[in-house]
Chains A and B, each alone.
Chain A
Amino acid sequence: MKYVLQCEDSIEGIFSAVYAAWELKYGHENTELQVFGFKNSNIELFCNYISLDPDAEKAQKVLNTIRRICSDMVYEALFRAACSDAADKADAIYRYIQTALRMGSKVRNHLTDPAVVRVMELSRAVGNAEHHYLGFLRFIEIPGNILLARFAPKPRLTELIIPHFVDRFPEERFVIWDTVRNEAGVHVPGQTYLMMKLTEGQVAMLQQYAEDNMEAEQLWKTFVENISIKERENKKLQQNNIPLHFRTYMPEFQHNGLPKAILQKGEEHGE
């Protein structure tokens, strides 16, 4: 008999399901992990489905064990893989941990094991998206001298990228808002950041700010237009380097937006 453990799509959800897989003792070969909410997961016959609630304590135990037996690198790879948007991530993580507990930190070298390769691929994909958004994320200044960044990443990224911006803008008040999952990271000067799940009211409030109140956006568009060399134009290369899905909130790619009343407003909230 095969057992499918279904868990929530979150760090706690996935890692507490890994804990449960050991706890339930159905045998690793009979157990599979699945994350809720992926459309293309077919329901199988002759299979027991068990849905699990996330349990922060159990998840922490698993993560602590990984850190102790393996290394921080392994922990980071697993953490990133758990943020991925791939449907098979939970099972790949589960299989990886089986090998990891046997091999310790050397598991990262074991690139002939399919689960190890899969977790490497997932964490690499998340890491790449993370690095891209360090550059492609755009802030707009909203009243009160607050910076607001909206982005729609495929993997769950807010918590992975926010430390970079906390380090970069220690004196700024800013919000990074994941518009897909409606979660946000918030930073206030002198403090570390805070992760929060946004309520409908908060989302509605943030939605009214769609444009920057300074002329910086126009200046930026002018700059981007003029820095390109006409004789070398290569839109295909541009699209390889910055695929369309990244561009949703980037002002330099918004060509038919509404005209912006910016110049006067800018004076009030300037220096």
Chain B
Amino acid sequence: MDVMEKLQILADSAKYDVACTSSGSNRKGVAGAIGNSVAPGICHTFSADGRCISLLKILYTNHCIFDCKYCINRSSNDVQRVSFTPEEVCRLTIEFYRRNYIEGLFLSSGINHSPNETMAEIVEALMLLREKYHFNGYIHCKAIPGADPDLVELAGWYADRMSVNLELPTTEGLRTLAPHKNRKNILLPMRQIQSGIEENMQALGVNDSRGRYWYTARELGRKEENSTLLLREKLRQKIALQEHVQENIISEKEQNSKTDALPAVLREDTFHTGIPGLHMQKEAKWANQSHTGRFVPAGQSTQMIIGATGESDYQILAVSEALYKKFDLKRVFYSAFIRVNEDSALPVLPGGPPLKREHRLYQADWLLRYYGFEANELLSEQQPNFNEFLDPKCDWALRHPEQFPVEVNQADYYTLLRVPGIGVRSARRIMQARKTARLDFNDLKKVGVVLKRAIYFITCSGSSYYSLKLSEGMILQNLLLAEKPPKQEDTCFQQLTLFDGTYREFLQECGSA
């Protein structure tokens, strides 16, 4: 079978993986090698579904021993099965990269024979790419749940980003739809990668604001029990201890194998024992030749399928928040469920994939990471799902009239960020522009504030845009009128008509509340 056919099959099976980002790594080019990497990431093209293509996203193989009900490659499906060879993966990557088609490689895989065998094949491909082909660009690879920690670690020295898919937000969901996977096997490599990153950063004295979540949390003076800050402190103590007592290392390593069964708690002992930096000298020659070796420098990510099981948005967001806090993930991706298999355990979604819901979750995800919101501010047990018509921030603002109006010329950065219509960039520009002049509504427009949303929530030098007394219902009506009504082809929701009651009822409900 030629490479063209393999590519066709293995790209097609990789398309359900959401992440195609090439962000988080800044690496200069090196003489004798090919490639560099820039922190914001670069999109190279966009596919017909509007998603960014930044990496050569392929499966190594679509052979799979697992039978996850939602997956096109499950073992019970009768599909053509193929595998790349490591050489083929490398040649494709290099030829695409030279022509500036891609930013790097995203290698995922079905589970062929055993997790270990699959992980070993991924590592082999990465090693070849880095050491023989001297590829210095971006690599994202999967850590296969259940694979040996040593293999996962080795992959981490070659990859920029690693990810372990959480697949479904809850353990019950996983049990029904992915019977061969379990939460423990997914969280273990995640924890291992997290510790590896921490140790590596510590060893090199790097302190970049990688995990945006803790960065925002620290700015707000919020400290979590399991936050990275605390983790760091523990790590520092641990390293200090190690330096004194070298002999302890061996006995500690023995203990590790015993405590491996504790997933969701902070397991200090998964930190690789030994002198920090030892691994780099041993394994990561490709990076060491030129500069310092970094372990998974672009951090790790994960993804969840939305709408395959019955979780509420609140549950999903709470899981994401926990992952950001406890596992220091860089990103959580959400993937609207697409019914590719006929199976009685899978829901039938007549409106197609829940894209609108996915969109709202992404909006909320940004609010968690960059805006300093917490999951229980946005949603609660009483209101477990996001509003279809309003974005999460507008929705929050309407429920919290006591926080508004915000005085643009005085409020601090994080207060500004909470105003609908003000984002990270415009908030920064407001902070900047305030240094030289007082701002009025016209100036705000110039710096990029979306006034059609913001005017109800701000004052400029004490004066509000409207001299009327604003009520929640009135603001809501205006906000909704300012937005284009959702179209049939854009969303999975019904076209609104004059005689459709839901929209009006919804308005009235909010107006009277």
State the A residues within 8 Å of B (CB): 103, 106, 108-112, 117, 131, 134-141, 147, 149, 164-172, 190, 212, 214-220, 222-224, 226-238, 240-242, 250, 252
Q: Is B11 an interface residue (CB 8 A)?
A: yes
B37-61 interface mask toward A, CB cutoff 8 Å, 1 = contact, 0 = none?
A: 0101011111111111110110000
What's the nearest-Cβ distance from chain A to residue B58, in Å?
Answer: 8
Q: Which of B115-149 contact A (CB under 8 A)?
A: 137
Q: Is B397 an interface residue (CB 8 A)?
A: no
Is A223 within 8 A of B433, CB to CB?
no
What's the nearest-Cβ distance from chain A to residue B50, in Å?
Answer: 3
On whether A109 and B99 interact (CB within 8 A), knowing A219-B92, A228-B49, A229-B338, the answer reads: no
What's the nearest-Cβ distance from chain B to residue A169, in Å?
Answer: 6
Q: Is B31 an interface residue (CB 8 A)?
A: yes
Could you give 26 example pairs across A and B, Cβ below 8 Å?
A106-B436, A111-B429, A112-B439, A112-B443, A137-B100, A139-B98, A141-B99, A147-B99, A164-B36, A164-B38, A168-B36, A168-B137, A169-B29, A170-B34, A220-B96, A226-B12, A227-B11, A231-B338, A232-B355, A234-B48, A235-B50, A237-B49, A241-B43, A241-B52, A250-B45, A252-B45
What's the nearest-Cβ distance from chain A to residue B366, in Å?
Answer: 18
**Residues of A close to B48: CB separation below 8 A:** 228, 233-235, 238
Is A168 within 8 A of B53, CB to CB?
no
Is A168 within 8 A of B95, CB to CB?
no
What's the nearest-Cβ distance from chain B to residue A88, in Å?
Answer: 16
What's the nearest-Cβ distance from chain B to residue A138, in Å?
Answer: 6
Residue among B3, B29, B34 with the most chain A CB within 10 A? B29
Is A242 within 8 A of B45, CB to CB?
yes
**Residues of A close to B14: CB separation below 8 A:** 227
* Cβ contact of A228, chosen from B15, B98, B432, cutoff 8 A: B15
**Residues of A close to B44: CB separation below 8 A:** 135-136
* Cβ contact of B436, chosen from A109, A171, A231, cutoff 8 A: A109
Q: Is B468 an interface residue (CB 8 A)?
A: no
The CA-CA distance from A50 to B7 in the complex, in Å, is 61
On whether A241 and B4 interact (CB within 8 A), knowing A141-B99, A227-B15, the answer reads: no
Q: Is B103 an interface residue (CB 8 A)?
A: yes
The CA-CA distance from A188 to B452 in the complex, in Å, is 52
The CA-CA distance from A170 to B29 in the complex, in Å, is 7
Is B49 within 8 A of A232, CB to CB?
yes
On whether A167 and B28 interact (CB within 8 A), knowing A136-B44, A232-B353, the answer reads: yes
On whether A168 and B49 interact (CB within 8 A), knowing A136-B44, A219-B4, the answer reads: no
What's the nearest-Cβ distance from chain B to residue A214, in Å?
Answer: 7
Is B3 within 8 A of A219, CB to CB?
yes
What's the nearest-Cβ distance from chain B to residue A250, in Å?
Answer: 7
**Residues of A close to B45: CB separation below 8 A:** 135-136, 224, 242, 250, 252
